[in-house]
Amino acid sequence: MYDLFAKGLTVGVFQFESSGMRDFLKKLKPTGIEGLIAMNALYRPGPMQNIDRYIKRSHGEEKVEYVHPLLEEALKETHGIIVYQEQVMQIAQVLAGYSLGGADMLRRAMGKKKPEEMAKQRGTFKEGAIANGVDGELSMKIFDLVEKFAGYGFNKSHSAAYALVSYQTLWMKTHFPAPFMAAVMSADMDNTDKVLRYIHDCHEMKITVQPPNVNLSDRDFSVYENKISYLFCSRISCWL
């Protein structure tokens, strides 16, 4: 299954079907669920700029560095790059002495971007870091780095659930290709562009997509003798 992810054969697969995501999968070549979890979280507006760095570090092509040694505990699993919201909370705990509840309040404040609250949190973070032996100026650089990510970051618990469903979806596509493709085309029946893309993918998978047939077709895309048929006569039919 991970070989298929590594080849980007994920059209129709939950969370992994966009062309950009498939390109990154080919570069990362994930070998386990952790890779899928990370990609789910990285492919978001905030951390997306770090995808190439994450891939290079995961392959040992770039040295893993930490802005401060205390950050290694929180960022070791993601090669020194902030990927998950839980890491934001852990950084606040380890670096600036936040309680777990306080760290969650910091995460929420960063997400809402309220100037007054952020000014308060910035002061609290700096004081806590200095008390923990961290240089005040460096602590503010780390705060800015965390703040930039936190507004758009994804939590790992959510990303892990997504990754599991993604794996299960690709498993279905691999072992039951014709029924799977019929199902995804039926689900996106109102989106002509997506259906045409799925039909192209069927051709790539050597699955025959038949024109409407009054004797075989159902009201949705259906499978008969491992071939997909469709009843509704629309622009899509012209492409079959």
For 46-94, write each residue's pLDDT tens digit: 788 899 999 999 999 999 999 999 999 999 999 999 999 899 999 999 9
For the chain, give every domain's residue range. Answer: 177-238
How crowded is residue 51: how many other Cβ atoms within 10 Å of its Cβ?
A: 22
What single DSSP character describes residue 220?
S
From the list 58, 64, 18, 13, the residue with the least C-alpha distance to 35 is: 58
State pLDDT tens for residues 127-184.
999 999 999 999 999 999 888 787 677 889 999 999 999 999 999 999 999 999 999 9
What is the C-alpha to C-alpha distance for residues 208 and 127, in angstroms, rounded to an integer?
A: 66
